[in-house]
C-alpha cells in the first residue's frame, strides 16, 4: 500500500483516536479510525493498523460488520444439524435447534449494531435486562438460561475475533459474565 499516513489525536471527551489514511489496491483513498482509552493505546493501535495495511491483511469491510452478519455466518457455519460418521459426531450440534432459538434472542437485542461497537458494558446490560424479564408464565427467568445465551454470544465473539471482524472479544475485558457455580439454588448472584 502506498501513502500510509497515520496520526493520533485526543477527543473533546478525553478519549484518543488513531487514524490512518492509505490507498487500497483498487486505488481508492481510505481512512481508518480506532478509538482508545489512552494515548499509549492509540499509538499501539496505529502501529498495528499500519502493519495490517502494509501486509495486506486489513479488511476495510470488517469494521462495518453488524451483529446480524455475524449471526448469519455463525448459523450457517456452526448451528447446523449434526453429521455422524461411524457413530461419531464430526460436525454440527446436537442441540442446534435450541441454539438457534437462543440466537433469535441475541439478534433481537444486538441486531443491527456494529460488531466493533459491542462493549463489555453492553453485554453486562443485556444480562441484567434479560434476567429482569419475566418468563412467559410470569416467573423469574433462570440464571442458567441466561448463562446459556451468554455462552452462545461468547462463542460467536470468539468466531468474530478469529475471522478478524473484531480486534478482541468483549468477554475478555472484564470479570467473567458467566459463573456456573452460582446457578445452584440457594446461592445469590
Q: Can you give the pTM of this predicted structure?
A: 0.69
Residues of the chain with CATH 1.10.150.130: 62-183
- pLDDT given at position 33: 83
Beta-carbon contacts of 147 under 8 Å, excluding residues fewer than 6 positions away, are 178, 179, 180, 183
The CATH architecture annotation of domain 62-183 reads: Orthogonal Bundle (1.10)
- The pLDDT of residue 1 is 32
Question: In this predicted structure, what is the pLDDT of residue 103?
Answer: 96
Among candidates 61, 172, 157, which has minimal Cα distance to 110? 157
Q: Which residues contact 34 (CB under 8 A, 6 or more apart)?
A: 17, 18, 19, 42, 45, 46, 49, 167
How far apart CA 154 and CA 103 sit, in angstroms, is 12
Taking only the tens place, the pLDDT of each residue in 129-147 is 999 998 889 888 889 999 9
Task: At 118, list the grid cell.
Answer: 459491542
Listed as ranges, residues in the chain with pLDDT below 70 are: 1-4, 57-61, 183-189
Amino acid at each position: 500500500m502506498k501513502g500510509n499516513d497515520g496520526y493520533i489525536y485526543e477527543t473533546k471527551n478525553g478519549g484518543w483516536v488513531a487514524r490512518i489514511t492509505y490507498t487500497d489496491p483498487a486505488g481508492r483513498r481510505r481512512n481508518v479510525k480506532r478509538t482508545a482509552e489512552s494515548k499509549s493505546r492509540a499509538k499501539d493501535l496505529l502501529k498495528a493498523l499500519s502493519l495490517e495495511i502494509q501486509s495486506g491483511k486489513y479488511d476495510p469491510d470488517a469494521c462495518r460488520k453488524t451483529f446480524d452478519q455475524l449471526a448469519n455466518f455463525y448459523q450457517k457455519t456452526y448451528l447446523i444439524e449434526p453429521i455422524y460418521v461411524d457413530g461419531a459426531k464430526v460436525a454440527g450440534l446436537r442441540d442446534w435447534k435450541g441454539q438457534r432459538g437462543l440466537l433469535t434472542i441475541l439478534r433481537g437485542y444486538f441486531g443491527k449494531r456494529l460488531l466493533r461497537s459491542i462493549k463489555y458494558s453492553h453485554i453486562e446490560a443485556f444480562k441484567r435486562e434479560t434476567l429482569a424479564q419475566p418468563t412467559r408464565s410470569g416467573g423469574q427467568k433462570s440464571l442458567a438460561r441466561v448463562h446459556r445465551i451468554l455462552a452462545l454470544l461468547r462463542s460467536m465473539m470468539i468466531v468474530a475475533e478469529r475471522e478478524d471482524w473484531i480486534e478482541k472479544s468483549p468477554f475478555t475485558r472484564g470479570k467473567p459474565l458467566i459463573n456456573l457455580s452460582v446457578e445452584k439454588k440457594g446461592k445469590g448472584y
